[in-house]
Copies of this chain bind each other. A is one copy, B any other.
Amino acid sequence: MEQIRSLIANGDLRPGDRLPAERELAKQLSISRPSIRAGLRMLVARGVLRAKHGSGTYVADGPPSLDSEQLSLLADLHGFTFDQMFEARQVLEVQVAGLAAERATAEHLATLSEEIAEMYAALDDPQQYLIHDIKFHRAIAAASENPILATLVEMVSAVMYDQRRETIGRAHDFKESVEMHQRVYRAIRSHNAEEARRSMHEHLALAHKAYRTEEGKLSKKKK
Contacts and interface: CB of A to CB of B under 8 A. Distances in A.
Contact of A85 (B73, B88, B148): B148
Contacts of A37: 38
B71 A148 contact: yes
A43 B148 contact: no
Interface residues of A, number: 45
Query: What is the total number of copies of this protein in its complex?
Result: 2
Contacts of A75: 148
Contacts of A85: 148
Most buried by B among A42, A44, A99: A42
A117 interface: no
A135 to B, nearest CB: 19
Contact of A76 (B5, B41, B44, B78): B5
Contact of A73 (B46, B74, B77, B149): B46
A77 B96 contact: no
30 contacts: A5-B76, A8-B77, A9-B76, A15-B77, A15-B78, A38-B38, A41-B41, A41-B45, A43-B45, A46-B70, A46-B73, A48-B73, A48-B74, A60-B77, A70-B70, A71-B148, A74-B151, A75-B148, A78-B147, A80-B147, A84-B147, A84-B149, A88-B146, A88-B148, A88-B149, A90-B95, A91-B91, A92-B92, A148-B156, A152-B156
